[in-house]
Structure 1
């Protein structure tokens, strides 16, 4: 993946919470695990991985922690007023923030390099066939 540095802002649907994203993108991916499907209400999530120090949050958020398909705990943060998903953090990669690409007004720069948790991908959810697909994570265990 070519190096991409973001300088973007995003906000929830009601505007009570905003994110300032500034820094290098670690990875861009789609995930079809059950947890991501439940959190998005569709067949997969589209995620931008950023260092936690590249994401500044303004406004009050609420988090919900559960065990993810990887076996690690994941905390998903959302706006307590409108429910918009804002970002997630996982114990598996505590220095990364998982930011939904759809949170940005114009994420034309989003270009996933992989599809993870393809073992639970739904046939009706069409993904780019040229993306590398992994049953869980990439073979080396990373994002």
Structure 2
């Protein structure tokens, strides 16, 4: 059964042809805080070749912690973030957790957090796999 989701206005939809994500992670970096307008980003990470995105999107690139580009994709109509794709790990795509359909996102179990060096002091949860910065690709 594919995992599905969409942006706020439903102009962008997506399906992921896997049963579960490779990982579910909080990203505490300053860029993700600004991108989401929240204290951190919640990402479900999948193999890029298993994700199909349908509808108009816009993307922009920023320099990630690795020094390589990270491409952020969003809906040009409602502005919802959809995904990010890092050049440092070209085989994966990090889908914004909030955009997953409710039946899938309510089952998410974050197990990893990145950029704990910039984690806001009131975020007290500590996950099993915590990285002060982004770990190198494996």
Aligned with 1:27 (options 19, 23, 40): 23
1:38 aligns with 2:58: no
Cα deviation for residue 44 of structure 1 reads: 0.7
How is 1:74-85 mapped onto 2 (pairs within 5 angstroms)?
A: 74-85=70-81
Please state which structure has a larger fraction of its residues in strand: 1
2-structure distance, mates of 1:39, 1:74: 12
How is 1:75-114 mapped onto 2 (pairs within 5 angstroms)?
A: 75-106=71-102, 107-114=105-112
Secondary structure at 1:94 match in 2: coil
CA contact (8 A) 1:35 1:69 kept: no
2-structure distance, mates of 1:127, 1:97: 27
Aligned with 1:134 (options 128, 131, 134): 131
**1:67 aligned residue:** 63
TM-score (norm. length: structure 1): 0.86
CA contact (8 A) 2:68 2:88 kept: yes
**1:17 aligned residue:** 12
Aligned with 2:120 (options 100, 105, 122): 122
Q: Deviations over 1:81-124 (max 9, x none)?
A: 11010111110011111101111132122111111100011113
Structure 2 residue runs of 5 or longer lacking an equivalent are none
Secondary structure at 1:136 match in 2: coil
Structure 1 residue runs of 5 or longer lacking an equivalent are 1-5
RMSD: 1.7
Cα distance change, pair 127–101 in 1 and its aligned pair in 2 (3 A): farther
Secondary structure at 1:93 match in 2: coil
Alignment: residue pair count: 135
